């Protein structure tokens, strides 16, 4: 019989080990998230500078054409990787010793689908108004959008090993190169074709750096082998995600294709500007969840820990996205005029609407990764396919009457339907959606109230910005959206990371 004191000592030691493990996981997630956010902060400046330079260089109509080209190719991007990114991350996290064969097999599958996708995109191009010279531009653009992603899959190993600084560094190198190319093209007044070729060239550099880093640093060691059994398994796992990706591609980009066909590129230009600005925010959920996803996969069978990490993701992201919604309205007009010029001023009213589409995007990133970690990805196509159908129907109804503003509202409605509410109707995913909605409700009411009040106040936009930021912070603390204990924990992680960073 074990003495009571011995049992107590064993339990205490076990508790201490669990705390060390829990804190170690938190520290790794925090470090990777900080790296991703910090890198993205720099990348945001580079991307914004390139976007502004490109918009001013091309003008409204040419920018609309540019956006329409890449929006059309995105409709076929589901074939570029067949939705295998999260599947490969999950499988490699759970079977790290077999990662080389997993990534090699997944990449080989993706190459086959990518080639097929390129052929289909070029075949159907004339039906969507991309005939003549636009078809040639589509071919060069498809190398970046459809062919290179299958090779970029090797970069997932950095996420699996929680060393995201490699992805950050490579991404920053590409963005810096793209900014340089845009400036040189603008100074040289180069033809539109060279813009497409320059973007594809930057993608080639990115792919080369990913392969060099993953192989040279021995993240992926030999032997590499292609497994037909694994290929069949990956295709089976990836098929629901592929359907999800094609549906997501439709309701993320079909609005631009339809505006190109129904309203013309002159109308599409400001819409492209607003979409580019709003999509920069999407790095926040991706940064956090890409750091947490390997952990969610590993604790998917431990319900209490799984719900804890899922709640942390929801709480942080909902606070951030509703804060953005609250403070963005007062600065939308001045921001567009300052960055892009008066010719793009119509984008301001579009931004005020489109910023709310980030809420379901933030929410959807969290719940999607939770569903995949639980191996429930078969349910994802249900929501996204219906969301895509709703988006197309709403665009058909709204664009002829309200143009780009109608497309903006169609985006918000369809995103909310696909990324939030439909998961409430599925028994196995309802618990994840309910947890997220409970966390999201207080900051939603707070942001909506601040936006409504500021709309009717005749103040200068700087004052509105200050009041919105201060009001949301105070309200977040009062409602528990931001908790003092969590702020203390973040500060503790910062101090620990600084200690580990010392030489």
What pLDDT sits at residue 194?
A: 94
pLDDT at residue 306, rounded to an integer: 82
Residue 223 DSSP code: P
194 contacts 185 by C-beta, under 8 angstroms: yes
40 vs 182, residue with greater confidence:
182
d(CA 388, CA 244): 10
Across residues 134-144, what is the average pLDDT? 90
Model pLDDT for residues 242-269, shown as the tens digit of each residue: 777 777 777 778 888 888 888 888 888 8
For residue 421, is pLDDT > 70?
A: yes
List CB contacts of 255: < 8 A, sequence separation 6 or more.
271, 391, 395, 399, 407, 410, 411
pLDDT at 31: 59
Q: Is the pLDDT of residue 2 over 50?
A: no
Q: What is the pLDDT of residues 293-322, one digit of tens each?
A: 667 776 777 778 888 878 888 888 888 899
Domain boundaries along the sequence of the chain: 22-501
Integer Cα distance of 12 and 6 in angstroms: 10
Confidence class for position 488, pLDDT limits 50, 70, 90: low
pTM: 0.70
Per-residue pLDDT, 498:
46
Residue 396: pLDDT band with limits 50, 70, 90: very high
Q: How far is CA 272 from CA 134, 253, 305, 351, 356, in A?
A: 18, 10, 41, 11, 16
> What percent of the chain lies above the pLDDT cut of 90?
19
């Amino acid at each position: 019989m074990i003495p009571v004191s011995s049992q107590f000592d064993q339990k205490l030691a076990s508790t201490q080990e669990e705390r060390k493990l829990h804190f170690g996981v938190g520290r790794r997630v925090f470090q990777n998230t900080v790296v991703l956010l910090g890198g993205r902060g720099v990348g945001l400046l580079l991307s914004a500078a390139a976007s502004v330079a490109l918009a001013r260089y091309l003008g409204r109509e040419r920018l609309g054409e540019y956006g329409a080209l890449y929006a059309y190719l995105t409709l076929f991007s589901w074939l570029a990787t067949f939705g295998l990114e999260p599947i490969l991350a999950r499988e490699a996290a759970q079977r790290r010793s077999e990662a080389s064969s997993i990534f090699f097999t997944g990449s080989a599958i993706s190459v086959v689908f990518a080639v097929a996708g390129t052929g289909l995109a070029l075949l159907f191009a004339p039906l969507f108004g991309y005939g003549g010279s636009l078809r040639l531009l589509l071919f060069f653009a498809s190398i970046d959008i459809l062919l290179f992603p299958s090779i970029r899959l090797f970069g997932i190993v950095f996420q699996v090993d929680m060393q995201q600084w490699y992805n950050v560094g490579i991404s920053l190198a590409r963005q810096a190169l793209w900014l340089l190319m845009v400036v040189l093209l603008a100074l040289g007044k180069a033809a539109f074709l060279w813009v497409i070729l320059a973007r594809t060239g930057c993608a080639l550099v990115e792919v080369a750096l990913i392969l060099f880093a993953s192989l040279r640093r021995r993240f992926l060691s030999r032997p590499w082998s292609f497994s037909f059994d694994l290929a069949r398994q990956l295709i089976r796992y990836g098929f629901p995600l592929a359907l999800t990706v094609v549906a997501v591609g439709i309701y993320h980009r079909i609005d631009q294709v339809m505006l190109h066909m129904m309203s013309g590129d002159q109308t599409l230009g400001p819409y492209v500007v607003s979409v580019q600005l709003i999509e920069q925010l999407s790095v926040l959920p991706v940064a956090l969840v890409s750091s947490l996803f390997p952990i969610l996969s590993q604790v998917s069978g431990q319900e209490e820990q799984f719900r804890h990490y899922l709640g942390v993701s929801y709480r942080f992201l909902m606070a951030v996205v509703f804060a953005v919604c609250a403070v963005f309205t007062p600065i939308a007009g001045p921001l567009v005029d300052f960055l892009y010029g008066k010719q793009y001023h119509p984008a301001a009213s579009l931004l005020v609407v489109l910023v709310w589409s980030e809420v379901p995007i933030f929410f959807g990133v969290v719940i999607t990764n939770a569903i995949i970690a639980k191996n429930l990805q078969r349910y994802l196509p249900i929501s996204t396919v219906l969301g895509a159908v709703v988006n197309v129907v709403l665009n058909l109804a709204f664009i002829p009457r309200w143009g780009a503003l109608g497309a903006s509202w169609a985006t918000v409605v369809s995103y909310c339907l696909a990324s939030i509410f439909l998961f409430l109707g599925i028994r196995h995913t309802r618990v994840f959606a309910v947890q997220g909605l409970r966390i999201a409700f207080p900051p939603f009411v707070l942001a909506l109230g601040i936006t409504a009040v500021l709309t009717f106040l005749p103040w200068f936009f700087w004052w509105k910005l200050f009041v919105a930021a201060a009001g949301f912070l105070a309200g977040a603390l009062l409602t528990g959206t931001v908790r003092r204990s969590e702020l203390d924990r973040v500060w503790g992680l910062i101090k620990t990371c600084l200690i580990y960073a010392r030489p």
